[in-house]
Each structure stands twice: as structure tokens, then as C-alpha cells.
Amino acid sequence: MGVEIKVEGLTKRFGSQVIWNDVSLTLPAGEISVMLGPSGTGKSVFLKTLVGLLKPDAGSIMIEGRDLTRLREHDLYEIRKLFGVLFQDGALFGSMNLYDNVAFPLREHTRKSESEVRTIVMEKMDLVGLTGAESKLPGEISGGMRKRAGLARALVLDPEILLIDEPDSGLDPVRTSYINQLFIDLNAQIDATFLIVTHDINSTRTVPDNIGLLYHKHLAMFGPREMLLSSEEPVVRQFLNAQTIGPIGMSEEKDADELAAEARSGQELPPLPPIPLQLGTSDGAPRRGERPAGQWCRDNGITPPPGSFHSHNAGVPGVRHTEPTAPTEPAPTEPAPTEPAPTEPAPTAEAVRSS
Ligand SMILES: Nc1ncnc2c1ncn2[C@@H]1O[C@H](COP(=O)(O)OP(=O)(O)O)[C@@H](O)[C@H]1O
Ligand SMILES: [Mg+2]
């Protein structure tokens, strides 16, 4: 399960507007990758291009030996069945209850009987912690529940590739932690290839196996989590540490004057914060993409910032980082180990209503 996607030289324009140019990366099979980038850099366009909803102007997208950009409509329709997509807005049908929303792709794309549909829908609702909420309308539930319902719908055709656009936008930090844990557990369970677009630096630092950054019409960097979190490259460093000092300005790039003023004023980047431990599955089950903490750094002769791999703290400004004695001290933002995670025992109706 889970297939590799190899993107090479991908370019997308709308008219004369170049969105991104010459993007090359490989999403390793079964691993979780995160794509970052300032608003408007074409992250959503990238997801839509991967799934074949938008045609690139150049480049290739290889999946199972076939170039998705060159497929005819019929073959594209077939290969799309490998994908589950959670769009930015959740895109649920407002007049349908959650059950019918989640059942929709099965009724549309398969010839399954209603009793088979029911088994699958209930299984996926359970997977995302929505058991008991089947008859709710999208308008009656919280943003977090709508995202999870969208996720359940993206899962019903058992995708090999899951594309998820800003699952945490509009969610509070606790719900964001729950959905991050859900992604890790889900990835271990279904072993699909995940690509998550997010703005959340804390999620980016702790969840994925790989990180990419789209900036200024190109892919600034893509690679293992530890590679980007230890990178001194100015754009990567600024973005992953949420800093104002660096080449990224309030609106797109800083101009030469701004950068010169910054240099004159002697402003310097603070040292790189510690690299946090990666979030594990809630039951300790291994994931395919998981690597021992610090392995990438060791393999590449990189000395990680002091204090790395001691906690799940992101180490970004505003997050307290204390040096723990045990290497696996739980971070304060995470649910305590005894609390039920959304994928574990089905939440009570009360818990479902309030999340
Ligand atoms: N269908 C479209 N036609 C023309 N321009 C588009 C279309 N979709 C997106 N764009 C433009 O592409 C750019 C990137 O958009 P988007 O991928 O939504 O950014 P992000 O998701 O990174 O915030 C924006 O300037 C947007 O206006
Ligand atoms: Mg977007």
C-alpha cells in the first residue's frame, strides 16, 4: 500500500502568471510529507495538479510507471481512484448529513450494496472519531468535525495517496494536536502516501517524515524533516522558525533596501532551536516512514542544535523548552497518554459534540 509520486520539472502558469517553475520532488511511498509556503504560493494549485484537476505547463508526475500529465481522460479517471483528497474548505454537501456525505464516493464510483456501503462508512467514521454523529448536517457541527468528516470521505475508496489541504486552518491548538495524532495513527494504519499542506509550524516540526517549502515561484527545498529543521538556508530557516529576520517580508520578498537596513542594524537570527522528537503513533505501532531520532543528522555529519530530540516541543518562539531528564518527556501541548485519542475508543456523544 502507498505509492511513490515522482514529480519532475513541473511548471504551472495561469496565462502569463507563473505559479511555480521547475518543481522536482519525490513523495516516498507510505511516508508523510508536508508542503509549506506563504499564502498564494500555489500550494493548493500543486495538490490539484497532482490529482490531475489542473494541467501543468511542463514536467511530469510519475505514478506506478505512468505519467499522469500525459494520460487521456479515461485513464486519468482510473488513476484518480488512487487518491483521497481533503480540500481546503472540506467541501461537504451542506444539505446531506455526514453519513450521506461520506457514502457519496462509494455510491458514485462503486456498485456496492447499501449494506456494504454502511459497513465502510461506519468504519471510516469510527477511524476519524465521528461515531454517533452520522445524522448531523455539516452546518450543525464544528470546523474540526467538518475536517474529520471530509477526511472520512477521502478515505472511503481506500486511497494509496492522501492529499490534505490545510487541515488545521481555523482549528485551535488542542484540536490541531488531535488531528496531528490522527494523521500519524491513520498513516500507520492505512500505510498510504500522505501530502499535507499546512501553515502550522508546530505541526510541521513534529508530524512529517519530509518537508517541502514553496517560495517565490519555486520549490526552495524538499527533504527529510531533520534536513530542513537543521538547515541554515535563509528562507528555510526563517520560515521553519517563524522569524521576521530573513528574506521573506510582509508582502512577498523583502527588497534590497530592507535587507540592507536589516544588515546595518546588526539584526541577527537567533540560534536554531532544538529539533523536536517526531510524533509517534498513539499505540506505539511503527510507521513505514519513521526513522530513529537524529539518524539523518548522523548520516549526513550534521550536528543538530543543542537540546535536539529531547521532547516534542517545537522549540519555536512562544513555546517553552526545558531540558528534560528523560528523553521522552511528553510535551505540554499534547493530550496526556491516558486521554482517549480520536481514533481510540469511540468518543462519547458529548465529546463528539464539543470537538
Ligand atoms: N483556477 C485558477 N485560475 C487562475 N488563477 C488561479 C487559479 N487557481 C489559483 N490561481 C492563482 O494561483 C495562485 C496560487 O493559489 P493557491 O494555490 O490557492 O495558493 P496557496 O494555496 O498557496 O495559498 C494565486 O495567485 C491564485 O490566484
Ligand atoms: Mg491554499
pLDDT band at residue 340 using 50, 70 and 90 as cut-offs: very low
49 Cβ below 6 A of ligand 1: no
pTM: 0.84
Q: How many beta carbons lie within 10 A of that of residue 149, not counting itself?
A: 27
pLDDT band at residue 10 using 50, 70 and 90 as cut-offs: very high
35 Cβ below 6 A of ligand 1: no
Q: Which helix (H) or strand (E) holds 9?
A: strand 5-14
Residue 353 has pLDDT above 90, yes or no: no
Distance 72 CA to ligand 1 centre (A): 24
- Residue in this structure with the C-alpha cell 464544528, named with its chain if needed: 142
pLDDT of residue 351: 43
* CATH superfamily ID and name for 1-90+150-324: P-loop containing nucleotide triphosphate hydrolases (3.40.50.300)
Index of the ligand 1 atom closest to the CA of residue 42: 17
Question: What DSSP line would sit under 111-124, residue for residue?
Answer: ---HHHHHHHHHHH
Distance 112 CA to ligand 2 centre (A): 34
Largest CA distance in the chain: 70
Closest among 73, 67, 2, 61 to 33, alpha carbons compared:
2
Distance 19 CA to ligand 2 centre (A): 12
Mutational test site, ligand 1, from 14, 46, 53, 163, max ligand atoms within 8 Å of CB? 14
Question: What DSSP line would sit under 259-311, residue for residue?
Answer: HHHHHHTT--PPPPPPPPPPPPPTT----TT---TTHHHHHTT--PPTTTTSB
Distance 45 CA to ligand 1 centre (A): 6
CA-nearest residue for atom 17, ligand 1, is 42
pLDDT of residue 221: 97
Residue 349 has pLDDT above 70, yes or no: no
**Average pLDDT value over all residues in the chain:** 85
Residues 301-317: what's their mean pLDDT? 80
Backbone dihedral angles phi then psi of residue 171, each to the nearest 5 degrees: -95, 145
208 Cβ below 6 A of ligand 1: no
Index of the ligand 1 atom closest to the CA of residue 214: 22
Residue type, 47: L
Among the residue ranges 117-121, 196-200, 314-318, 346-350, the one predicted with the least confidence is 346-350
Closest among 170, 214, 173, 189 to 33, alpha carbons compared:
214
3 state DSSP class of 206? helix
Residue 333 has pLDDT above 70, yes or no: no
Mutational test site, ligand 1, from 17, 23, 45, 47, max ligand atoms within 8 Å of CB? 45
Residues 186-197: what's their mean pLDDT? 96
Index of the ligand 1 atom closest to the CA of residue 45: 17
Q: How many beta carbons lie within 10 A of that of residue 355, not counting itself?
A: 19
44 Cβ below 6 A of ligand 1: yes
Q: Are 306 and 313 in contact (CB under 8 A)?
A: no
User: In this structure, which ligand is nearest to the CA of 13?
Assistant: 1
Task: Give the tens place of pLDDT for each residue, 57-107.
Answer: 999 999 999 999 999 989 998 898 899 999 877 688 999 999 999 999 999
